[in-house]
Structure 1
Amino acid sequence: MSLPTVPELVASLDEELVDLLYERLKLAADLPPLETPEEIAREVLRMRNLAAIYRVPPDLGEAMALALIEARKQFKGA
Structure 2
Amino acid sequence: MVLPTPAELIASLDEELFGLLYERLKMAAELPPLETPDEVAREVVRMRNLAAIYRVPPDLGEAMALALIAARKQWKGA
Matches for 1:23-62 after TM superposition, within 5 Å: 23-62=23-62
Q: Distance in 2 between matches of 1:10 and 1:53?
A: 13
Task: Say what the alpha-carbon RMSD is for the aligned residues.
Answer: 0.9
Q: Which residue of 1 aligns with 2:17?
A: 17
**Percentage identity across paired residues of the two chains:** 83
Q: Distance in 1 between matches of 2:24 and 2:73?
A: 14
Q: Distance in 2 between matches of 1:29 and 1:75?
A: 7
User: What is the TM-score with the length of structure 2 in the denominator?
Assistant: 0.95
Give how far 1:54 is off.
0.1
Where does the alignment leave 5 or more consecutive residues of structure 2 unmatched? none
Give how far 1:4 is off.
1.1
Where does the alignment leave 5 or more consecutive residues of structure 1 unmatched? none
Q: How many residues align?
A: 78
Q: Distance in 1 between matches of 2:29 and 2:43?
A: 16
